[in-house]
Amino acid sequence: MKKLIVSRRSSQIFFLSLFIYILWSTAYPLQGIIRPNIIFKMDPLVTLFTALSERVIIPGIALSIAMLAAALIAGRIFCGWVCPLGSLIDGAGALRGKIRALPDGANAAFRKVKYIILGIIAAGACVGIQLAWILDPVGLAARFVSLNLIPAATMLTSGFFIFVIKTFRLYGPFYDFYRSLESTVLGVKVYYFSHAAAIFLFFIVVVLSSLFVARLWCRFVCPLGGLYALSARRPFLKRTLGECTSCGICKSRCRMGAIRDDMSYVPGECILCMDCIYDCPERVTRFAWGGPGPKPSTGRDRMSRRQFLFLLGSALVMSGFKRGEPGRVRNVIRPPGALAENDFVDRCVRCGNCMKVCPTNVIQPVLLQAGLRGVWTPALIPEIGYCEYNCTLCGDICPTGAIRRLPVPVKQATKIGVARVDKGRCIPWSSDNNCIVCEEQCPVPDKAIKLFEESAGGRRKFKPYVDDGLCIGCGTCQNKCPVRPVRAIRVKPL
């Protein structure tokens, strides 16, 4: 009985399920036991580097420091036992079957890539650019779960039920059961996210890379792994060998390539998967507290001068991306409470929490509409939804404060844009009919959309116009406008 492997796998399944549960419960009325922003506050990569690049103390940063301290003691236990992306990668790796070992030289060379990536992120953070989100494994997994997995699962489940109900005309208790699912597990609507396919593609490439080399991402690319590896250079929990016969079986099966030709190991690479304990035919491999220190690293493990210069050069290149003028104009509508555009783009870690939690699905990832640095930042697309007047959920769960947490009355007075009537399309302005849907739906108590009343031929006509002082840009009018394909009232970002 491989007790430790069973524990490790249980832990991986538990934390992956917890991760999915937390993100699933990221919906109105936020009844989950754990807030989703905790996930990212536990992620030292995004939390520390966002704090550094933005020169702020993010509340809950202590959690990240605690995680790094844990790695100082027990090594990269997060990677092997907790990380949701790691678990998915292990799951995909199981499809591949046998692990093939790379030679020491290749291992040593490739594993440095993640330190270079980490170095670039650190250099960026020093000059005020937050790059940590791009390759952050937790954010990668969270985007997949929130924007791909949960919507797809909802769609398939609903589709199945709708199909069965309609085909077999089961409008009785079976339909009631589906309705109870709708109000509990599934949610009322199927979410749609623009270019979810691009998000999925990025994710699936990372996961399937483990079919080529076991845990390729974790070994060579993952900057969070690199950060943990740096703290895990001399952990207290160490791998020790008894009477080793140097058979090399553990090395050939190590998924992280952490075991060298001479059977010594690189603690920063070991994720404590515990495979080598059971792979060892002599049963002499143990993990124990204390014990002799690891073998000092050879020259090949260290960073070469050339690599250091490359790092320095990339940092110089990056300083060219330094923030522009502080008053950069927005060309997308940001969620209420979002920081000024430049700060917002740098503070946002693209975790997708705000998109997942938004009850109307209006918050969407943008591709390039907000510039190259704004990829996958959240923006409001009023054709899809609108900003609920009494709702503050996106600010409540933003892990880095890119969207500030606003009390309801403040949020209700926060302008995110301003609506404009397109008189050429608007029904009352361009024809003889009445409409006023925009005015009716306007949630501002004193109505930011006013009506210009006209009487002609015994008929009253109401033509809408926007009171710029009252309009908060929530987009309800644009969303509800019945004119198609282009709405007759549209919100411009502020």
Q: Beta-carbon neighbour count of residue 180 at 10 Å?
A: 11
Sign of CA pseudo-dihedral 66, 71, 76, 81:
negative
Residue 161: C-alpha distances to residues 111, 149, 173, 178, 493 (Å):
48, 18, 12, 7, 40
Say whether residue 305 binds another protein (CB under 8 A).
no
Our CB check for another protein shows the closer of 177 and 236 to be 177
| DSSP code of residue 210 | G
**C-beta of 152: minimal distance to another protein in Å?**
16
Our CB check for another protein shows the closer of 235 and 336 to be 336
**C-beta of 96: minimal distance to another protein in Å?**
6
* Residue selected from 391, 416, 419, 472 as contacting another protein according to rule CB under 8 A: 391
Residue 54 contacts residue 343 (beta carbons within 8 Å) = yes
Using CA atoms, how far apart are residues 298 and 301, in angstroms rounded to an integer? Answer: 6
On the CB side of 136, how many CA atoms lie within 13 Å of its CA?
Answer: 27
Residue 347 contacts residue 400 (beta carbons within 8 Å) = yes
Q: Draw the binding track, 205-244, toward another protein (x: CB under 8 A; -: no contact).
A: ------xxx-------------------------------
- What are the φ/ψ torsions at residue 464 (nearest 5 degrees)? -80, 145
Q: Draw the binding track, 361-390, toward another protein (x: CB under 8 A; -: no contact).
A: ---------------------------xxx
187: helix, coil or strand?
Answer: coil
Our CB check for another protein shows the closer of 96 and 405 to be 96
* Residue selected from 262, 440, 454, 468 as contacting another protein according to rule CB under 8 A: 440
Residue 45 contacts residue 225 (beta carbons within 8 Å) = no
Using CA atoms, how far apart are residues 82 and 9, in angstroms rounded to an integer? Answer: 10
Say whether residue 427 binds another protein (CB under 8 A).
yes
Place of tokens 């009252």: 470
Q: Beta-carbon neighbour count of residue 133 at 10 Å?
A: 25
* Residue selected from 46, 70, 131, 442 as contacting another protein according to rule CB under 8 A: 442
**C-beta of 211: minimal distance to another protein in Å?**
5
Our CB check for another protein shows the closer of 235 and 378 to be 378
**C-beta of 25: minimal distance to another protein in Å?**
13
Our CB check for another protein shows the closer of 243 and 446 to be 446
Say whether residue 90 binds another protein (CB under 8 A).
no
* Residue selected from 59, 159, 242, 324 as contacting another protein according to rule CB under 8 A: 159
Question: Interface with another protein by CB under 8 A: which range of 117-125, 180-188, 289-297, 317-325?
Answer: 180-188
Residue 299: C-alpha distances to residues 108, 142, 293, 391 (Å):
10, 38, 18, 57
Using CA atoms, how far apart are residues 124 and 373, in angstroms rounded to an integer? Answer: 13
Q: Beta-carbon neighbour count of residue 51 at 10 Å?
A: 19
* Residue selected from 481, 489, 490, 493 as contacting another protein according to rule CB under 8 A: 481
Q: Which residues bind another protein (CB under 8 A)?
A: 28-29, 95-96, 100, 102-103, 105-106, 109, 159, 162-163, 166-167, 171, 176, 179, 182-183, 187-188, 211-213, 359-360, 388-391, 427, 433-437, 439-447, 451, 462, 480-482, 484
